[in-house]
Amino acid sequence: MSTGDSMARVVSMLDWDGDLGPASLPDHEAERLRSRLGDGAIRWVAGAVEQALAALRGEIDDSLAPWPVIRAFAEHVLTSTVLGLAGDDTLPADTAAIDRDLAEDIVAREIPLSVITRALRTMQREWLSLLLAAALDVHPDGVSVIPDLATAVTETMDAWIGAATDAIVEERRRVYLAEQVRIRSAIESLVAAEPVDVDAATRLLRIPLSGWHLGCAIGAPPGVALERRAVDGIVYLFTRVVGSDRMLRYESSAGNVHVWVTTDRPPQAPRVEDLHVTAPVLVGIGEPHQGTAGFRRTFLEASDALRLAASLGDKGGVSYGDAALAIVLSQDEERARWFIEHELRELATDSPEMADMRNTLRIFFDTRMRIAPAAERLFLHRNTLINRLERIQAVLGHSVSERSAETQAALVLDILFAGRHDDPL
């Protein structure tokens, strides 16, 4: 007699001698077994499943375990295993056969995959022990099939462990994606100033919305692709410089990355140079603000600063605190040009001489109004720079330090509109 015939004989003689109590199989599983092996196999599978579940209960201390769902899964696996041993072409182990409720329970309670694998191996051990005992009762053919029996059961359970793992991973992915949708929705509601449940949003976003928030927007000039590694590096530096690991990241449909870092106390906003930004990446840094209104405000400030950086073509980016006036004024181009003319006076004239004066003044402000660094950057002798600054002050009608914020804003706006001097207003 061939090994296959001997295996089929062993399986055809399966029956359960003990008390089954209320144990029984679902109709669809029972019918699969009855049509191929008879009622004895139905009783044997029901009894073997109960024995395996009893062993599992002894190993698993889990009062919330969904035992009815686990039983149904075990019945399906063992029915398929037995029919496979009998020579039937059974369906392969597949994630579709894993009960969705079981996968949801495992993921919701964050049960490790190692626990699931151990539980399935316990079932395998119990069932294999029972099958080997049944084989030994079939003389003389049973002994010859024991190696093949052990191999077949192990391979079948390996396949089911793989299917269960895939189902759990897929469920985790589904839950993650659903959570990401909720997170995006919460962020978009906050920045749109829509009413939100602050406690629920705090739990979802995993940051205390009542705390202090500091925003950073990361982007690139139009038509330029961002390298994710470069963005990740800026995000890391931003959180490290601010000094908090409570961070939220949001990637917009426009291709910009927004980051919030949350702290218990007002944080110090980093400078653009602290983030080591390299072209073509640009950043906009907001100011720290508190609460849900602050979450929105720092986002808008960082976004406006990023837009200004992109318009100016600045290397690195712009901090809102350094360019707030220019950002606000740039929203209305006509009034912004009036402001430039009012603050810079003759310095706003579109001529090579005045353009050189404006550049000198920008460098002077960039170096925090220090003569030596500014002269070095301009390749001028310090006395030459001092004389030039005196001429600039004569044009402005006041000391450059007297209205420095307004003057710097006018210089920023001048760059912003430099290519549009001849445009009609």
Helix 352-366 and helix 382-396, axial crossing angle in degrees, nearest 10: 110
Q: What is the mean pLDDT of residues 250-259?
A: 91
Which candidate, 298, 297, 257, places its Cα nearest to that of 277?
257
Domains of the chain with CATH codes: 3-176 (no CATH), 207-328 (3.30.70), 332-420 (1.10.10.2840)
Decide if pLDDT at 366 tops 70. yes
Decide if pLDDT at 37 tops 50. yes
Average pLDDT, the chain: 88
Query: How confident is residue 221, by pLDDT bands cut at 50, 70 and 90?
Result: confident
The pLDDT > 90 percentage for the chain reads 52
Q: For position 326, what pLDDT does the model report?
A: 82
Whether the CB-CB separation of 265 and 159 falls below 8 Å is answered with: no
Whether the CB-CB separation of 345 and 395 falls below 8 Å is answered with: yes
Q: For position 93, what pLDDT does the model report?
A: 56
Q: What is the mean pLDDT of residues 17-41?
A: 82
Decide if pLDDT at 20 tops 90. no
Decide if pLDDT at 31 tops 70. yes
> Which is it for the CA torsion 395, 398, 401, 402, positive or negative?
negative
* CA–CA distance, 81 with 48 (Å, rounded to integer): 12
Q: Name which residue leads in pLDDT, 314 or 284.
A: 284
Decide if pLDDT at 23 tops 80. no
Which candidate, 417, 422, 223, places its Cα nearest to that of 331?
417
Which candidate, 149, 147, 113, 102, places its Cα nearest to that of 130?
149
Decide if pLDDT at 249 tops 80. yes
Q: Which of 30-34, 80-84, 369-373, 419-423 has the lowest mean pLDDT?
A: 419-423
Query: How confident is residue 421, by pLDDT bands cut at 50, 70 and 90?
Result: very low
pTM (2 decimals)?
Answer: 0.61
Q: For position 97, what pLDDT does the model report?
A: 59
* Adjacent-strand bridge partners of 247: 261
Strand 289-290 to 257-263 pairing: unpaired
Q: For position 424, what pLDDT does the model report?
A: 31
* CA–CA distance, 230 with 206 (Å, rounded to integer): 25
Decide if pLDDT at 22 tops 90. no
Decide if pLDDT at 167 tops 80. yes
Q: What is the mean pLDDT of residues 181-199?
A: 94
Decide if pLDDT at 234 tops 60. yes
